[in-house]
Chains A and B, each alone.
Chain A
């Protein structure tokens, strides 16, 4: 452990914070924008530099923050040698790319956007390499996929850019999903998601039965990200991105994330047969195939892309070999590949920029026209080919040396031949890159006459080319310390790193010579070979990918159209059947314990009620075509259910059920007025049978379930409520105390829902009356058989007398609610029924004129009163909705209780009353809209008036 841990998370955050800046600074000009983009990168580099010495000495910088400890997701960071190497590469390259892009992007490109994406990507990438928690690592991993999607598709007007971005996101995203699964398995085996802990549990993980699935899933993530065969195809298509992006993401950083992950997990996962054969084979195949395709690509960037694929294969193979030295060589080659490949990409970008083409067949002879660029490209390409004394030569020699004594698929020779072939092809395409672009005769048909670009554009690739040479000439100074530190992090022991150009006469030297000579010969034969290549049929990955995506899209569309065809009956049927099936499966799973409760007896009265209920239910179904009859039968069912509640010791429920049923029936009657009175016969007999079968299955299932649990006891939390109702809530009616106190928050939410339902109804009705429905209503013809006597005298008188009584009952029910059955819900319903009776008996106009409150306001006040009551608890320093109560005595009354819960209940009461009234009021507007007249007098005609007097009071037409 070394100090400076606070710097680490800040370093990761810097690019993310900095990402906000370029978008703003672009207004100050392109130079300012680029400068401000560089600031967070430079700062992060400084931080890294402060921490570097400790890490190079073999230490580890850590920083830990709990984020979601319950999930094992902690913001833990760790900087060891491997992290330092990658962080240095990411930040250093980031700086160079910022500089290069400043000159590369044209004035038409939105530069602020570019830099923002770039910094986001940089931060995500940095996060990957310093995460000490695999879940955190996954978050950053997905962030790189997303930000690279934005960068690849940066030129939004190019279809190739959009398609390439989509393909990259699909492939790497799918791999990322697989990796999530693999990481979760890994974390489960190790018992922690912290990387440092997992790294300690290598033995255990390799011995686990879940090792192979975890390995395959994690490798899927790494292979897709690092473009390994057969997922290599996305990388060339991602070359539609601007060249700075290609240089940064597709040579230096993102594609190395998979390599990084394999290196990171190397101590845990490597060393088994499975690892050896899967990883080394995939790597070797990728290396050879990538190199072969690269040789025949005419697009400079495509050539480099496939060469990158090939080199990533090489790295994968090295890690796959499983020997410690091979892993160290891989680390060294990561560094070397970065230097020469990024320089090459930037040179290709410069050529493209200057000549306006990247087609090798249209280029050649550029060396004399743009000598500096040519020099940089030649140095870098020779390093890629593995020519001494450049750095690429050294890592290639070391690679061949490792390969030369590896026993693979039955001997040393297969791998030696394949690796040499890969190296040979690599020499060939490297030579072709420089030979066909910069050498040969100067042409006069370039799309644009080339010359060296401004110095700013050359600085970055030039710097990298210098590094190529320096590492080649003095590897022990410029590369050994970091390779040693990273090698230590990967293999767990300090490697013996001796980097030098001359290793003596070894097998690797011969393989190298074969490769260089063979490569030269291949280039010489390139023209005829190219013809053969073009004539040979090859599988086209993009076509296959597009076909696959199209098929998947068609498949999901088919499933969607079958399951989601607009038929709600079908959804409900599918849903019901699925529920029954799941329930059945659950029933099969656990055994059923013996019954613990004795069945209660069935008195004759209950038997009568049961028969009535079943008959009414059955009749509702059989007679449902006559809608009015079905509605009345439903209310009989409701009545029986209420009786059931009475009998089974639930008076509160019975009260509520009866009052709700009453208003429901009124509401349905109002609606039925405008709906067809009959349901036509239209479903075929097969449908009836199907639905009947489903319904009976569901009924049997519910009955069986209910019967099963009714005979068995459970432990409940109700005892707590019973014990504390009086002590804590001050009420003896436990149901009411639960509603207004224990679970007051629920109730608060519920009255808000009810209020919203009421307002929704009002708003829907408003919309309806403005829409096409209004025309239909205007032309409404009422059936001729309707009653002439709309407001019968007897009913008017009776309801007028009932009103004060009903109101009194309502108030009584409300007041006693806390201690006896009743409460705000029931009281609200009772009062609304009393009011509704007035509307029905005396007519709309007469009642409306006497109305003192707006129903909307009543809903609002109800919620406000309940909310304020709850908030009042804060004043006493208690949590929201804590109730308080006390007992008072005022002469001449008996002692009585006052509880804030009653005030809360008042809010419930007001909301329920307002919502119910608003709903029915809204529905009744339909009738008036359709031409129903309203009266102002309590009756349509005044019996006290003489019969021959003119009828003045027939009323106005409301809303007409």
Chain B
């Protein structure tokens, strides 16, 4: 199971990193989404993996899963949604104002440089 989780984490991270290195906003946002999954699972996994243990106190239980990373990840999930939403709007705004959704400004500085000269 540990190997499965670790491999999934690796796959999600690799895919996320590859996508955030693309040149257009939409893949970058998708990449960030995948990276958020990876990070959330990673933080969650720092509590170590448990199967079938209750996260809720009960009289019969002898052991529990680690609640602290879960609480941290829970807020992280919600916050990452907020972040994604803001990013999406920024990308949208850039696209609507500039006409394309490139994330880099290399070319633009070149052209303005020519205009100045």
Contacts and interface: CB of A to CB of B under 8 A. Distances in A.
Interface stretch (A185-193, A761-769, A936-944): A761-769
Give the 7 A-B residue pairs with the shortest CB-CB distance, closest first.
Answer: A703-B10, A699-B14, A757-B82, A773-B96, A600-B1, A566-B105, A707-B6
Contacts of A739: 71, 74-75
Contacts of B75: 739, 746-747, 750, 825
A486 interface: no
A721 B32 CA distance: 32
A517 interface: no
A706 B85 contact: no
B106 A652 contact: no
Given A683-B23, A761-B89, A618 B11 contact: yes
Given A695-B16, A754-B82, 7 more contacts: A572-B20, A610-B7, A652-B55, A660-B80, A702-B9, A734-B56, A739-B75
Nearest to A706: B6
Interface in A366-394: none
A634 B70 contact: no
Given A653-B77, A718-B68, A735-B67, A630 B30 contact: yes
A776 to B, nearest CB: 5
A657 B75 CA distance: 10
B74 A710 contact: no
Contact of B96 (A614, A674, A711): A674
Nearest to B97: A773
22 contacts: A565-B109, A567-B104, A568-B28, A620-B34, A621-B18, A624-B30, A644-B5, A647-B51, A648-B51, A649-B53, A663-B81, A664-B84, A679-B27, A695-B21, A706-B6, A713-B48, A732-B56, A733-B57, A747-B75, A764-B93, A820-B56, A923-B88
Interface of chain A, main secondary structure: helix
Size category, B interface: 35 or more
B2 A599 contact: yes
B48 to A, nearest CB: 6
A825 B56 contact: no
Interface stretch (A454-462, A665-673, A847-855): A665-673
A73 interface: no
Contacts of B45: 706, 709-710
B79 to A, nearest CB: 6
Interface in A666-711: 667-668, 671-672, 674-676, 679-680, 682-683, 691-692, 694-696, 698-700, 702-704, 706-707, 709-711
A384 B5 CA distance: 82
A677 B23 CA distance: 15
B54 A649 contact: yes
Contacts of A683: 22-23
Interface string A146-168: 00000000000000000000000
A430 B6 CA distance: 81
Contacts of A768: 89, 92-93, 96-97
Contacts of B10: 699-700, 702-704, 706
Contacts of A718: 47, 66-68
B70 to A, nearest CB: 5
A898 interface: no
Contact of B74 (A656, A680, A773): A656
A568 B79 CA distance: 22
A781 interface: no
A919 interface: yes
Contact of B92 (A568, A675, A694): A675
Given A568-B104, A694-B21, A653 B89 contact: no
Contacts of B2: 597, 599-600, 707, 710-711
Given A638-B37, A699-B13, A773-B96, A923 B89 contact: yes
A146 to B, nearest CB: 36
A716 B68 contact: yes
B96 A624 contact: no
Interface in B93-112: 93, 95-97, 99-101, 103-106, 108-109
A70 interface: no
Interface string A912-924: 1001100100110
B105 A567 contact: yes
Contacts of A735: 55, 67, 70-71, 74
Given A664-B84, A825-B74, A649 B91 contact: no
B84 to A, nearest CB: 6
B49 A648 contact: yes
Nearest to A620: B15
Contacts of A915: 82
A645 interface: yes
B85 A726 contact: no
A776 B96 CA distance: 7
Interface string A564-581: 011111101100100000
A691 B31 CA distance: 13
B47 A653 contact: no
A821 B56 contact: yes
B86 to A, nearest CB: 5
Contacts of A606: 1, 4
A761 B1 contact: no
A814 to B, nearest CB: 15
B97 A771 contact: yes
Given A667-B85, A703-B7, A679 B22 contact: yes
A650 interface: yes
Contacts of B1: 599-602, 606
B21 A569 contact: yes
A675 B55 contact: no
A606 B1 CA distance: 9
B47 A621 contact: no
Given A660-B77, A732-B57, A649 B41 contact: no
A786 to B, nearest CB: 19
A753 B9 contact: no
A922 B103 CA distance: 23
Contacts of B101: 675-676
B41 A641 contact: yes
B66 to A, nearest CB: 5
Contacts of A679: 22, 24, 26-27
B117 interface: no
B96 A912 contact: no
A618 B17 contact: no
B107 to A, nearest CB: 9
Contact of A761 (B5, B14, B86): B86
A753 B79 CA distance: 8
A674 B38 CA distance: 28
Contacts of B33: 634, 638, 664
Question: Which of B19, B96, B97, B108 has the most chain A CB within a 10 Å cutoff?
Answer: B96
Contact of A568 (B49, B53, B103): B103
Contact of B77 (A657, A668, A716, A760): A657
B105 to A, nearest CB: 4
A743 interface: yes
A722 interface: yes
A750 B55 CA distance: 23
A952 B113 CA distance: 56
A627 interface: yes
A624 B19 contact: yes
A656 B85 contact: no
Contacts of A40: none
B103 A569 contact: yes
Contacts of A653: 40, 44, 70, 73-74, 77
B26 A675 contact: yes
A810 B25 CA distance: 34
B26 A613 contact: no
A357 interface: no
Contacts of A602: 1, 4
A820 B42 CA distance: 24
Contacts of A570: 104
Contact of A566 (B48, B50, B65, B108): B108
Interface string A707-749: 1011101101110011001100000111110110001001100
